[in-house]
Amino acid sequence: MHYGHDHAHDHGGHHSHGHAHGHGHNHPPARATQWQTPHLPHDHVHDAPDDPRATDLDLVEAAFAEGFASASDVTSFLRMAGVPFVGEDAAGRRLHLLRVELEDMVDVGAVAPLLGGGGVRYDPLPAKMTSRRRRLAFVFHDGQQVVRLPYASARALNDRTEASQIETRSA
């Protein structure tokens, strides 16, 4: 029985297996190719997204967060990224940008339920299993309330940036 260790063996004069192992064989899974659309028929011809600005948006968002955190001129950085200071959504609601929130998170422990449901078990994670994540949100005000938008939604707003007056509505 082969237990998945990853070093050379003497197999009748051969010093290595001579073949690559698949997922779960002491190798990380291959990174997914961008533009993948799961659950489509095998004969489906897949084209690039209709809106080229949506291509690899997760990678674009990660690059935005990385660059924004160290930008010396955040106003120009926002303009370059296409995030409006005053935006209008599809319903015609005007949103005024107040703040960009970047939150760094590092998972260093895990909780798992005990068999029988009598509690949970906590385990600190070894260094190789820790994970880093960054959460990004754009905080706008619509004249009545604060609205938090993810990167894609903030970029999708129609840019109405100009000197403006915010009209408050009576309830």
pLDDT digits (tens, 9 = 90+) for 32-91: 444 444 455 555 454 545 656 566 778 889 999 999 989 999 999 999 999 999 999 999
Is the confidence at residue 144, as pLDDT, over 50? yes
Does the model's pTM come out above 0.75? no
Range picked from 15-24, 31-40, 101-110, 162-171 for highest mean pLDDT: 101-110
100 within a domain of the structure (yes/no):
yes
pLDDT score for 164: 57
Phi, psi at 61, each rounded to 5°: -65, -40
Q: How far apart are CA 119 and CA 130, in angstroms?
A: 23
Which of residues 101 and 55 earns the better pLDDT score? 101
Neighbours of 104 (CB within 10 A): 10
Q: Which of 99, 105, 87 is nearest to 138 (CA)?
A: 99
Contacts of residue 103, Cβ cutoff 8 Å, sequence gap at least 6: 134, 135, 136
Split into its structural domains, the chain has a count of 1
Give the domain extent around 155. 52-159
69 within a domain of the structure (yes/no):
yes
